[in-house]
């Protein structure tokens, strides 16, 4: 079964990474029907394939089950969220990539799959699954034996193997496709030589600029038709993700005076019971709102709030009720002992491996202890036997350490024992044989048991604040009334802008997923009923809606106006700068000066004195020495340039560095494959309706 365990792990890994698996059928369970029970249970679209809520949820639950089986624990909210993203990505990959595989005819033949499992050079995961962990040697005979015995194994094991085979088959298809893309992007000799010239040929230029800032925007008049024309010509610049602007009012719940009085009365009554309790630890566990603390404290480390003389009290002494960090507390001094400030020890560790041989670990460590007690050298035994590599090379020596630095069982053995003790203790790491070598001077430390009652709002207090939030919602359920109510001093309005569909937090508030879902499921101007997030009620107003795609004219009105005015300035400047064949004369005409920029080339990011002006880079590379350009519309102004001198790229026959650079750029392009295919197919993500 050990091999099946490995295969189970590997098949799950492959499935998650490359998105293997068929789209699931509808789930008939009540929970799923409740979540996706409406008429519209569409979760999104990938090309012309609709993804429904039930089928996505089944895929998600399968991934969660795989994760929980592999990790032997329940998936947390964070894990489920991560798996949700993985499943969605896997679905996209399946739809868009498999269509490409089919179009190109990329497959894995039965002979190829056979070779991947049983051939001379099997798949790396097959090699790993059938490699002897003790020798590190792959055993192909075990593969054949395993496959022969597969029919007699439980159905679950056969299914796991088939999933594993399907996974490595899909991985091979994906690898072929990626290789096809990589090989298709190749830096030819002419491309390499041209790139070398573009990067190394230098041109010194002179230029005259008329910059847009020289004319105040307020003097430029733009018609509605010109604004619309500019917007239509530059729509590609106004792409946006879906986002929301949320205005909200917070109603925070704090403990009332009555809540505080009730908490103090409770702690005072409990203190009387605690004083006569026979089992202090159990009393704390059952009554305190803070976890049991079994640590021992020196005088200088006593918790805040306790009287300075409490450390010197007798065991059993009770403190008076005190307040700290929003809680009422009472503490009993439950134990006192003399403890060394630090300990020097060495150990030998036999690690737990969760194999049947673990039952022999204690016997092995006992045998090592006996050998040392009979004269064997501890340091040599540690070097030969200890599985704590870091300390083994030092003969097991851990040096000096303070209390709390080691795991509890190890710590207690070292600080409660005496110098020379040779003791065996278990821990989560295995079995330790410890020798206490030295102990520092001992000092008094005390153990404290504390019962705490937090000052939290009562149900009645919550009800009162909820009533206020509900009344606010009732009276201010429109944009007009919400805005008017938040203009005064009674209510503080908070604003969250550019809230994205997958966000969980907004400025000033964490874990408000339900509020964000609401904002994407409602229309602009909507006002929410109160949401509760911990001790805060929130009433929200959906102030702004931006849908994915091209922003509307109204949403980018300011950018469009600025751009249109700049465009109009450029047209005026170009007309003014035309027809002059001398830079000095041109400078006089436009009221400027002749400026210089050295070492300009096609590949440069910026030009001295101009900044990032890519049109100038392009134009400069086409002109001959002494030649002037026509007026060029740039980012910061209109320019006329003249080539002062040209320094050709140095002669070379070694283009290795340039080719490596181009290859790196090409390889980076393949990483943009999924995004390009998503744009081609069109991906509509509506998971926010349910998650």
Same domain, 12 and 140: yes
The answer to whether position 690 is within a domain reads no
Sign of the dihedral defined by the CA atoms of residues 329, 335, 336, 337, in that order: negative
The answer to whether position 660 is within a domain reads no
Q: Which of 125-134, 598-607, 632-641 has the lowest mean pLDDT?
A: 125-134
Same domain, 8 and 155: yes
More confident residue, 19 or 511: 511
The answer to whether position 234 is within a domain reads no
Q: 């870091």: which residue's tokens?
A: 390
Same domain, 89 and 156: yes
The answer to whether position 450 is within a domain reads no
pLDDT at 358: 54
The answer to whether position 368 is within a domain reads yes
The crossing angle, in degrees rounded to 10, of helices 53-71 and 77-104 is 120
Query: How large is the average pLDDT for residues 211-227?
Result: 95
More confident residue, 397 or 66: 397
Question: 210 vs 251, 472, 566, 568, CA distance in Å?
Answer: 56, 57, 12, 13
pLDDT at 595: 96
Work out the percent of the chain whose per-residue pLDDT is above 90.
63
Side-chain half-sphere CA neighbours of 10 within 13 A: 22
pLDDT at 72: 82
The answer to whether position 119 is within a domain reads yes
CATH value at residue 431: 3.10.50.40
pLDDT at 330: 96
Average pLDDT, rounded, for the chain: 88
Cα 4–7–8 angle (5° rounding)? 85
More confident residue, 565 or 132: 565
Pick from 292, 323, 339: which residue ends a domain? 339
Same domain, 520 and 391: no
**Domain total of the chain:** 5
676-680 contact pairs (CB < 8 A, 24+): 677/96, 677/97, 677/100, 678/92, 678/96, 680/96
Q: Which residues contact 287 (CB under 8 A, 6 or more apart)?
A: 270, 274, 451
Query: How large is the average pLDDT for residues 532-543?
Result: 97
Same domain, 47 and 158: yes
Pick from 547, 565, 580: which residue ends a domain? 547
The answer to whether position 674 is within a domain reads no
Q: Which of 3-17, 575-589, 650-664 has the lowest mean pLDDT?
A: 3-17
Summarize pLDDT for 316-371 with one digit per residue, the tens: 999 999 999 899 999 999 999 999 989 999 999 998 765 434 557 888 899 999 99
Same domain, 500 and 613: no
Pick from 647, 662, 677: which residue ends a domain? 647
Confidence of residue 658 (pLDDT cuts 50, 70, 90): very high
Summarize pLDDT for 262-312 with one digit per residue, the tens: 999 999 999 999 999 999 999 999 999 999 988 888 888 888 888 888 999
Same domain, 170 and 32: yes
Same domain, 116 and 174: yes
Summarize pLDDT for 3-57 with one digit per residue, the tens: 444 444 444 434 433 333 322 222 233 343 444 545 568 888 998 889 988 889 9
Cβ neighbours, 10 Å, residue 63: 23
Instruction: Determine the structural domain holding residue 396 and report its residue range.
Output: 342-440
pLDDT at 433: 96
- CA dist 66 and 78 (Å) reads 16
- CA dist 421 and 418 (Å) reads 6
The answer to whether position 189 is within a domain reads no
- What is the three-class DSSP state of 37? coil
Residue 391: pLDDT over 70: yes
Q: Which residues contact 648 (CB under 8 A, 6 or more apart)?
A: 201
Tell me the two tokens of residue 78: 């964070």
Same domain, 414 and 399: yes
Same domain, 274 and 310: yes
Same domain, 422 and 507: no
CATH value at residue 470: 3.10.50
Sheet containing 683-685: order of strands:
49-52, 42-46, 683-685
Same domain, 111 and 7: yes
Query: How large is the average pLDDT for residues 546-562?
Result: 93
Summarize pLDDT for 168-203 with one digit per residue, the tens: 888 899 889 888 888 888 899 999 999 999 999 999
């Amino acid at each position: 079964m050990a091999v099946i365990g490995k295969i189970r792990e590997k098949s799950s890994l492959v499935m998650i990474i490359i998105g293997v698996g068929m789209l699931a059928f509808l789930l008939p369970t009540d929970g799923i029907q409740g979540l996706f029970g409406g008429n519209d249970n569409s979760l999104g679209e990938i090309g012309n394939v609709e993804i429904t809520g039930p089928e996505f949820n089944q895929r998600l639950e399968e991934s969660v089950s795989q994760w929980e089986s592999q990790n032997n624990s329940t998936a947390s909210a964070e894990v489920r969220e991560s798996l949700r993203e993985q499943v969605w990505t896997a679905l996209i990959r399946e739809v868009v990539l498999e269509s490409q595989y089919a179009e190109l005819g990329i497959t894995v033949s039965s002979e190829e799959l056979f070779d991947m499992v049983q051939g001379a050079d099997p798949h790396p995961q097959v090699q790993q699954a059938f490699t002897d962990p003790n020798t590190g040697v792959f055993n192909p005979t075990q593969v054949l034996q395993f496959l022969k015995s597969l029919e007699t194994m439980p159905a679950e094991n056969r299914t796991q193997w088939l999933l594993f085979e399907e996974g490595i088959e899909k991985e091979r298809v994906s690898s072929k496709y990626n290789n096809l893309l990589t090989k298709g992007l190749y830096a030819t000799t002419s491309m390499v030589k041209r790139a070398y010239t573009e990067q190394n040929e230098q041109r010194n230029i002179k230029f005259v600029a008329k910059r847009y800032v020289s004319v105040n925007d307020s003097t430029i008049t733009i018609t509605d038709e010109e604004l619309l024309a500019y917007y239509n010509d530059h729509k590609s610049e106004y792409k946006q993700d879906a986002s929301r602007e949320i205005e909200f009012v917070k109603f925070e719940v704090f403990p009332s005076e009555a809540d505080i009085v009730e908490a103090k009365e409770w702690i005072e009554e409990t203190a009387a019971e605690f004083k006569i309790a026979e089992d202090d630890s159990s009393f704390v566990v059952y009554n305190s709102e803070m976890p049991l603390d079994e640590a021992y404290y020196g005088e200088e480390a006593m918790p805040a709030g306790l009287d300075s003389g409490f450390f010197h009290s007798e065991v059993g002494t009770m403190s008076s009720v005190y307040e700290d960090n929003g809680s009422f507390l009472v503490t009993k001094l439950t134990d006192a002992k003399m403890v060394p400030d630090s300990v020097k020890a060495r150990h030998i560790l036999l690690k737990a491996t969760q194999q049947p041989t673990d039952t022999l670990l204690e016997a092995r460590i006992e045998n090592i202890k006996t050998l040392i007690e009979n004269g064997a050298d501890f340091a040599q035994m540690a070097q030969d036997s200890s599985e704590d590599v870091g300390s083994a090379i030092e003969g097991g020596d851990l040096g000096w350490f303070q209390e709390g630095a080691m795991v509890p069982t190890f710590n207690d053995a070292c600080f409660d024992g005496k110098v020379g003790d040779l003791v065996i203790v278990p821990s989560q790491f295995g079995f330790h044989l410890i020798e206490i070598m030295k102990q520092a001077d001992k000092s008094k430390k005390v153990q404290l048991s504390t019962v705490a009652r937090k000052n939290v709002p009562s149900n009645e207090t919550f009800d009162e604040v909820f009533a206020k939030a509900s009344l606010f919602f009732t009276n201010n359920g429109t944009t007009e009334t919400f805005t008017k109510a938040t203009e005064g001093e009674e209510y503080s309005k908070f604003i969250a802008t550019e809230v994205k569909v997958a966000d969980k937090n907004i400025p000033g508030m964490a874990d408000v997923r339900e509020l964000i879902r609401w904002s994407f499921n409602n229309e602009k101007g909507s006002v929410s009923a109160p949401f509760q997030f911990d001790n805060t009620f929130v009433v929200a107003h959906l102030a702004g809606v931006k849908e994915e795609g091209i922003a509307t004219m109204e949403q980018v009105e300011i950018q469009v106006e600025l751009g249109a005015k700049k465009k109009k300035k450029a047209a005026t400047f170009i007309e003014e700068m035309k027809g002059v064949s001398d830079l000095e004369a041109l400078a006089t005409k436009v009221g400027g000066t002749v400026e210089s920029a050295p070492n300009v080339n096609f590949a440069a990011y910026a030009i001295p004195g101009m900044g990032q002006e890519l049109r100038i880079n392009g134009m400069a590379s086409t002109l001959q020495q002494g030649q002037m350009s026509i007026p060029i519309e740039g980012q910061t102004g209109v320019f006329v340039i003249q080539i002062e001198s040209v320094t050709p790229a140095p002669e070379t026959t070694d283009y290795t560095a340039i080719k490596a650079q181009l290859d790196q750029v090409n390889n980076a392009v393949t990483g943009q494959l999924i995004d390009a295919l998503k744009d081609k197919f069109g991906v509509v993500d509506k998971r926010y309706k349910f998650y």
